[in-house]
Amino acid sequence: MVPGPLQVLAKALEVQLLLLPVLKAQATTYELAFYHHFPVDISVCFAYGYGEPTTSIGPLNYKEVGYARIPANSSTNQISVDVQENCSGPNASLVSGAVQVTLQSSSNLFGVVADGLETWNASSPTAALAAYRSNSVAEVETTEVVASLRFWNGAVGLASSCTAEIAVDGGPHYQVGQLAADQGKQVSFTCDALESGFTTLAFHCGSQAFEFRTGAEGVGGFLCPGATLQVSLVGFQEGNTTGKGPSVELVSSSDCPCAQRCRASCAVAEGWRSAQVSSIFVLVVLWLWS
């Protein structure tokens, strides 16, 4: 059976997506994501580097995310990471100095978060450095493009545990599981398996529910192939009047443009992707006329 033009287009786009993990594996740089989930009114800078943390990114305000890349080092894959209040230098470390972390090929997420979630005091808050790294987002061997969601319960003063869920409007409903304070759980998907449609990413904590609603493209509009999307419950119960109340925030380990995501809902807005689609369209037209 001779394939139709839409099948030709879909197959060509699928081949482009399947190439992404190969290109990622051959990269000579690590991608770093930094986020500010410490619910206080300060700006922070993250400092990082091989040996001493001499390179910085920021300032970042509460709920902001920043990205950086660091070249691979032939002698080590360990870097130092520190977080500083108001970007005023190493003496202003919020977390008792730099820590050594091992970089991984897939996901390198670093955040400043509330320390001691069950005993945290808003009048004298303390911060901690959260570091999540993953060498592979796939839980099983697969040749398909895989991306992951990592749910993390980082809120203060809620129920002893929260249930994380994914619900697609008019579609499937997934229960990720129970998460105690400062606990995370990761689930992996192939890009093709992701449902489109408005999707709710939720934490149910006792009688309370906290949600993030996606657009019509669903979770795939936020997921970068081969990367991790962290879905974080942050804030504290008494912070509702100051904008620091519990909320669900998304942090991707990659800042890939939306045209490269699992569901490229904005492909027409991306110049390079538009050029590739146009060339495929020419092939389709030639097939129709042949």
Q: What is the pLDDT of residue 74?
A: 87
Give the tens place of pLDDT for each residue, 164-193: 999 999 988 989 999 998 899 988 888 888
Q: Coil, helix or strand for 7? A: helix
Q: State mean pLDDT over 29-51.
A: 93
Residue 66: band (very low, low, confident or very high) from pLDDT cuts 50, 70, 90: very high
Q: Over pLDDT 70: what percentage of the chain? A: 73
- From the CB of residue 215, how many other CB atoms can be counted at a distance below 10 Å? 13
Most confident of 18-32, 242-256, 259-273: 242-256
**Residue 251: is its pLDDT beyond 90?**
yes
Kindly state the DSSP code that residue 96 receives in the 8-state scheme. Answer: S
Strand order in the sheet with 199-205: 173-180, 161-168, 199-205, 208-213
Q: Is residue 57 pLDDT above 90, yes or no?
A: yes
Report the C-alpha gap between 23 and 214 in whole angstroms: 28
Cis peptide before 39 (omega within 30 of 0): no
pLDDT at 289 > cutoff 70: no
| Model pLDDT, residue 287 | 34
How high is the pLDDT of residue 134?
66
- Is the per-residue pLDDT at 254 higher than 70? yes
Mean of pLDDT values over 39-60: 92
| 194 vs 211, higher pLDDT | 211
Residue type, 285: V
Predicted pLDDT of residue 232: 96
Annotated domain spans of the chain: 5-289
Read off the pLDDT band of 157 (50, 70, 90): confident
List, for residues 97-148, the tens digit of each pLDDT value.
899 999 988 789 999 998 877 667 777 788 889 988 765 444 444 456 678 8
As a whole number of angstroms, the distance between CA 153 and CA 10 comes to 38
- What pTM did the predictor assign? 0.78
Position 88 pLDDT exceeds 80: no
For position 168, what pLDDT does the model report?
94
Region 62-91 average pLDDT: 88
Mean residue pLDDT across the chain: 78
Ramachandran category for residue 266: left, alpha or beta (phi over 0 → left; psi -120 to 50 → alpha): alpha
- State the pLDDT confidence band at 83, using cuts at 50, 70 and 90: very high
